[in-house]
Amino acid sequence: MSEGQPTGVFHTRVEWIDTDASGIYHNSTVTRFVEAAEATLFRSRGIEGYFPSAPRVRYEADFLAPLVFGQDVTAIVWLARLGTSSMTWEFEVWGEAFEGRARVLAARGSYVTVHLGSGPAAFGEARSSRPWPAEWVASLAAGCGS
């Protein structure tokens, strides 16, 4: 992560619903933690309406260490690239020190979102990408040092 990139951070705990019967987290839980960090970033920038108009079109994750029931977690997401109609995000999910174990990088990866505009599509209607709203771009660019 480079200094000054728009960043969202989410702190939580692995709950039972996040785990399999052995108490180890489901890989899909990473997506939920990362999206919560992303939502934190958008709320902090005053951007509304992003999630319904920006589906994930690519998602890649490396699962490096297990997270367990009761463990505190920190998810960090940052904007790596802002295109005309797409955004590339990178993330890390950290398991905090727990029951004698050191803090550990549990997952890292990247994903791409594409702007489809507002409003629902008719059933079966193909939608194409559209440029990000200028006010969103300005808000994300503010203080990013680029």
Residue 13 in contact with residue 5, Cβ under 8 Å? no
CATH topology of domain 7-117: Thiol Ester Dehydrase; Chain A (3.10.129)
pLDDT digits (tens, 9 = 90+) for 85-113: 999 999 999 999 999 999 999 999 999 99
pTM of the model: 0.89
Bridge partners for 12 per DSSP:
73
User: How far is residue 1's CA from residue 3's CA, in Å, rounded to a whole number?
Assistant: 7
Q: pLDDT of 42-75, one tens digit each?
A: 999 999 999 999 999 999 999 999 999 999 999 9
The C-alpha angle 2, 116, 34, rounded to 5 degrees, equals 40
SS3 29: helix
The pair of three-digit structure tokens given for residue 10, joined into one six-digit string = 């989410």
Q: Which residues are bridge partners to 9 per DSSP?
A: 76
Give the domain ranges of the chain: 7-117
